[in-house]
Copies of this chain bind each other. A is one copy, B any other.
Amino acid sequence: MNAQELLKLLELVQCGKLTPAKAIERLKHLPFEDLDFAKVDHHRTLRQGFAEVIFGKGKTPEQIAKIVRAMLAKKDSKHNILITRTDAKTFSAVKRAARKESRLAKFHPLSGVIAIERDTKIVGKGTILVVSAGTSDIPVAEEAVVTAEMMGNEVQHFYDVGVAGIHRLLANREALTKARVVIVCAGMEGALPSVVGGLVGVPVIAVPTSIGYGASFKGMAALLGMLNSCASNVSVVNIDNGFGAGCVARENDRG
């Protein structure tokens, strides 16, 4: 181990067997990044705070169950566990793996998210509002909602408030203006974030969804629309990236 190597080196200095100058020479060639590794890891843990995350897509139910079991085995921490892009079959495997804590595991079928909420403390300072333009955007919105909740935020949501029926959005303006961060999920023309951005004075995180057909080009139209938003408080994440939006909102709400 590097820390041990370093200790040895310092003990050689302490007992006079190595001059400080020569120690510096040796230190330059030490793989010091390993120390760095530890430090960053520590940062990671601090940062991710309430949740450990598994990207489920491309992993078998067994693989996911195994990772979950290892996470739950850690004694010293009671982090929430979030598994994205998964399915009912994986949920069964996860429940079995969770044993005593299996009743904490919850499956969100629209988004395919599994959440094991072991710590319900709220660490965010305000409310994160998740808005979806259509009912088809709800899976992405739900991924954002659960992500933000599992990371210790108060989350509220309004679904199906798209721009072609602008009154539905306006009817909820009070809630909009009270939110600390707004996540807006929209496919097709992706116009909703601009409208929301004009109504609120907080960060708006836009999530283009792959909803649509023809010239929507699997979310490309919505993505371009959001990047060109005429509202100056809008930033954008990848197509269908509800998880990313939840994370960015969390960072915003922690500050």
Contact = CB atoms under 8 A, between A and B. Distances in A.
Copies of this chain in its oligomeric complex = 8
Given A40-B199, A203-B252, A227 B232 contact: no
A24 interface: yes
A156 interface: no
Given A24-B3, A136-B58, A163 B32 contact: no
B255 A227 contact: no
A243 B232 contact: yes
A251 B225 contact: no
Contacts of A199: 40, 43, 166
Contact of A202 (B13, B174, B180, B255): B255
Interface string A202-219: 110100101011111111
Contacts of A126: 255
Contacts of A105: none
Contacts of A125: 255
Interface stretch (A14-22, A71-79, A92-100, A111-119): A14-22
A170 to B, nearest CB: 4
A85 to B, nearest CB: 9
A171 B255 contact: no
A221 B230 contact: no
B31 A27 contact: no
Contact of A189 (B27, B162, B187, B228): B228
Interface string A161-200: 0111111101101100100110000011111001101110
B6 A171 contact: no
A233 B251 contact: yes
